[in-house]
Amino acid sequence: MKPQDIYGSLVFNFDVMRSRLPKETYMALQQTMATGRRLPTEVASTIANSMKDWALEHGCTHYTHWFQPLTGITAEKHDSFISPLPGGGIIMEFGAKELIRGESDASSFPSGGLRATFEARGYTAWDPTSYPFIKENILCIPTAFCSYDGQALDKKTPLLRSADALNRQALRILRLFGNYEAQRVTAWVGAEQEYFLIDKSLFERRRDLKYTGRTLFGSKAQKGQELSDHYYGSITPRVSAFMRELNEELWKLGIPAKTQHNESAPAQHELAPIYESVNIASDHNQLMMEILKRTALKHEMICLLHEKPFDGINGSGKHNNWSLSTDQGVNLMEPGLTPAEDAQFLLFLCAILKAVDEHADLLRLSVASASNDCRLGSHEAPPTILSVFLGDELTAILDALENHRTYVKETVADMSIGVHVLPKIPRDISDRNRTSPFAFTGNKFEFRALGSSMSIAETNTVLNTAMADALQQFADILEAAEDFQLAREELIINTIKKHKRIIFNGNSYHEDWHKEAKKRGLLHLQTVADCLPYMTLDENIALYARQKVYCETEIYSRQDVLGENYCKIISIEAKTMLDMARQEIIPAIVRYSKLLGESAALKQALLPQEPIAEAGTLSTLNQLTKNAFSACDDLDKSLSNVPLDEGRIACANYCRDILIPSMAQLRQSCDIPEKIVARDLWPFPIYEDLLSST
């Protein structure tokens, strides 16, 4: 099938609306999607009827309010269009009431105390700024999920609030520059998605992969990514067939999948979409992760979205490319040909520096999870110290402004390729610093700390909110100034002086940077447990209140959910390790030891004067078995002492300080014998098998 024939074919998008809705209804909905204004009920009724007819034509019998609870995945409850008639027949009904609002049991979703079993009801509310779509013959209506009193129980609601806050404050800045034509400023996002593919039959034989999404045991393979021969390499026929079907499924849902390639690690791949408004990009990324897993299964493969499924090689991230654009299509992150003279760009750039510097704790929190803790800090994943990469030219411009010097632009150098028939290529002013958490890449910022399994909603909620707050403070100063140009120049210079500590263009992995960052006073929050206390600091509660993104109870609830999730995941991993070690690994070592012992005894009887070759290995395995038994006992004891009644932060600290080190000790004691025990006796597939299975 041709892409142009299937693209968006399962989406109730503008093309479908234009052909099916009365002109005045279509214009009202288009205005709502463009401005975020409330849609009148009578208009919703007309839309609902048209949407139902369209869905029925595509074979749908049910609809669902598709929402994103705090689990990080999506949720749906299916309701039929069927309505019985007195004579025994049926009609297919779907009106404004069913479109606009639904009800769901909220008590079984994590809510951090916002909902309890005796007050279980939650409500889903249609988000008319995101297109309905058909998935598995179900009409899916993107919705927000909230409690009876309006508290957000999901990830979409705060994202929409933050988008409104950013729009309000960005328009104030544009008005100061004389722009009265722009009616809306929107954050645009392109989220690159990394993932691993492994054979399903091998996955089924690994308890750790099935229960936790990552390998809790495993020695480094003889060949990993050392030769860099997988990155951008030829795609195998099996994976190519998967990618072909994946693209078709994504295109049907209007997801603009653009780039696909092999990533650095064996069995690792990447899929990147074209930029979309942040709300739609968030919805689409949730769908993308679901379709990745579902399509892989059709090809007898498993898609692993865990941030670090294999130790010793690259983990998987989700690079969040973020920029701001007006409804006229002007990218506010675009420097133009002379960024030194572009005051509007410089002001927005300074707002970003201020936002990242002042709210580095919240940005770090937005990418905090037990799985991402395993990834950050090595193997091309950025460190947990937040810094901003600007490149040499922008850094030099800011330095010149700070020191009241005239910036003299250096001639852009050409890259010498060494082949005369090829044209000269201008060297980009912004190098791609792979170690930077937050890098300027020409006309956008790329936040590289986001984990592959995570929703992009939380990260972009923080980015939008922090940016809105910086712009609000800028607008307050500039609107009160008698001389706008002078006040603007002073504001830019003062912001550079105050927040230049966040700029770093060097190697973020190097120990020297870690020391320098500490001198600069930058935070280094290495784990979820380190991050948790920062979520409810007074200044962070005040920030969210100012921008009307979270109320205080919503913030505390999210702290509780994050802490609970962290502790539960670590506990599940620890229990899985104990079972695998005691029921699979140690018995395998004992079986091999028995074989060696029998061989040694036979040789001793036949060749009493000869040294026994097996003796040394037997001695080693005996010590390793002791170590494994001891490590199991230590981990078991640690698990029994988890302080569940002392609060989330205390529990998280215990997991960080006691459970995780105990797990590391058990892993070490079990990974060493993997290299010694005969392959046919080892109880599950090893890295070598898994990483070459597709």
The pLDDT of residue 123 is: 86
Q: Which residue, 187, 184, 152, is CA-closest to 36?
A: 184
Residue 381 has pLDDT above 70, yes or no: yes
Contacts 24+ apart (CB under 8 A), 552-560: 553/114, 553/151, 554/114, 554/151, 554/152, 554/158, 556/112, 556/113, 557/111, 557/112, 557/113, 557/114, 557/151, 558/70, 558/112, 559/112, 559/532, 559/535, 559/648, 560/112, 560/113, 560/648
Residue type, 136: E
The pLDDT of residue 425 is: 44
Q: Could you give the CA distance from residue 612 to residue 233 in angstroms, rounded to a whole number?
A: 48
**What percent of the chain lies above the pLDDT cut of 70?**
94
Contact criterion met (CB below 8 Å) for 340 and 397? yes
The pLDDT of residue 416 is: 44
The pLDDT of residue 176 is: 95
Q: Which residue, 259, 312, 329, 360, is CA-closest to 690?
A: 312
Give whole-number Cα distances, 272 to 39, 178, 193, 264, in Å.
Answer: 33, 36, 6, 15
Q: Give the angle 467-473-476 at the CA atoms, nearest 5°.
A: 135
The pLDDT of residue 278 is: 97
| Burial (Cβ within 10 Å: 0-12, 13-18, ≥19) of residue 417 | exposed
Q: Which residue, 500, 464, 175, is CA-closest to 344?
A: 175
Contact criterion met (CB below 8 Å) for 66 and 143? yes
Residue 599 has pLDDT above 80, yes or no: yes
Residue 462 has pLDDT above 80, yes or no: yes
Mean pLDDT score, 577-604: 93
Q: Could you give the CA distance from residue 306 to residue 37 in angstroms, rounded to a whole number?
A: 38
Residue 196: phi and psi, rounded to 5, are -110, 150
The pLDDT of residue 684 is: 97
3 state DSSP class of 434: coil
Q: Which residue, 130, 453, 100, is CA-closest to 309?
A: 453
Please name the residues in contact with 390: beta carbons below 8 A apart, sequence gap of 6 or more: 398, 430, 440, 503, 505
The torsion angle over the Cα atoms of residues 459, 463, 465 and 466, rounded to 10 degrees, is 130
Residue 118 has pLDDT above 70, yes or no: no
Q: Give the angle 486-488-489 at the CA atoms, nearest 5°.
A: 65
The pLDDT of residue 421 is: 53
CATH C-level class of 565-690? mainly alpha
| Burial (Cβ within 10 Å: 0-12, 13-18, ≥19) of residue 240 | exposed
Count of C-beta atoms within a 10 Å radius of residue 380: 16
| pTM: predicted TM-score of the whole model, two decimal places | 0.93
For the record, the structure tokens of 95 come out as 């009106």
Mean pLDDT score, 393-421: 71
Strand partners, 140: 64, 133
Q: Which residue, 168, 195, 485, 156, is CA-closest to 318?
A: 195
Residue type, 671: D
H or E element, residue 138: strand 138-146
The torsion angle over the Cα atoms of residues 416, 417, 419 and 423, rounded to 10 degrees, is -80
Mean pLDDT of the chain: 90
| Crossing angle of the two packed helices 392-402 and 484-499, in degrees rounded to 10 | 120
Per-residue pLDDT band at 33 (split at 50, 70, 90): confident
Read off the pLDDT of residues 305-364 as tens digits, 9 standing for 90 and up. 999 999 999 999 999 999 999 999 999 999 877 776 688 999 999 999 999 999 999 999
Domain boundaries, the chain: 3-154, 162-191+319-408+434-550, 565-690
Domain 3-154 part of CATH 3.10.20.70: yes
Give whole-number Cα distances, 276 to 188, 252, 298, 459, 466, in Å.
Answer: 5, 16, 28, 16, 20
Q: Which residue, 364, 352, 355, 354, is CA-closest to 534?
A: 364
Question: DSSP state, 317?
Answer: B
**What percent of the chain lies above the pLDDT cut of 90?**
71
Q: Could you give the CA distance from residue 602 to residue 606 in angstroms, rounded to a whole number?
A: 6
Radius of gyration of the chain (CA): 28
Read off the pLDDT of residues 558-585 as tens digits, 9 standing for 90 and up. 999 999 999 999 999 999 999 999 999 9
259-288 per-residue burial string, b: 16 or more CB within 10 A, e: under 16: ebebbbbbbbbbbbbebbbbbbbbbbbbbb
Give whole-number Cα distances, 560 to 227, 461, 542, 567, in Å.
Answer: 44, 18, 19, 11
Query: Which of 152-166, 378-392, 653-667 is least confident?
Result: 378-392
